[in-house]
Amino acid sequence: LESVAKYEGMINTMGAVTLVFYYLYLNTQQFKRDALTGALNRRCFYLDTEKNAANISAVLSIDLNNLKTWNDKYGHAKGDDAIRTTAHSFQRVLPKNCYLYRTGGDEFMMLCFEKNRSKIESMLADIHTELAKTPYDCAIGIAYRRADEDFRELCSRADRQMYENKAQMK
């Protein structure tokens, strides 16, 4: 357009506008993510559940076991490594439309949207395979959506399953 229509500065202006929008995009993404793990943060968890509650097919509640022991025995840097490593293990196997959220210190939630049970079970097996490659273990609870079930009840069932799994692991 610059050479044909004799517009001067069009390329520079478009480049500047593109950079501004890219900068704004990066900043908004930064506020959605947990700094340590790169997982989506607790705020995103609540926003996503409000916006897409009807499409959630399963919720996973995940708790890293023995974080206090890692922190007390080896220091908080090792505790951070444990959190980061487990989060990356989850992220490596997440299929499309499943999202990981860090909702607390060593607590994670996973939302699966429009997935069937067999795909979620396959992902869960992959998570266990990835975790087996690390020195860490996690208690995991899963709740599949029931017809006309309130989201809070779905999360409560996932939490109960996670605590049952934690008790079995001890």
* Contact criterion met (CB below 8 Å) for 57 and 112: yes
Q: 41 in helix, strand or coil?
A: strand
**Calpha distance 109→89 (Å, rounded):** 14
Identify the pLDDT of residue 110: 97
- Closest by CA to 144, choosing from 169, 112, 122, is 112
116 token code pair: 């069937």
Instruction: Output the pLDDT for position 9.
Output: 63
Per-residue pLDDT of the chain (170 residues; tens, 9 = 90+): 556 666 666 667 777 778 877 666 666 656 788 999 999 999 999 999 999 888 999 999 999 999 999 899 999 999 999 999 999 999 999 999 999 999 999 999 999 998 889 999 999 999 999 999 999 999 999 999 998 888 999 999 999 999 999 999 88
- Length of the chain equals 170
pTM higher than 0.95? no
CA gap 152, 103 in Å, rounded:
15
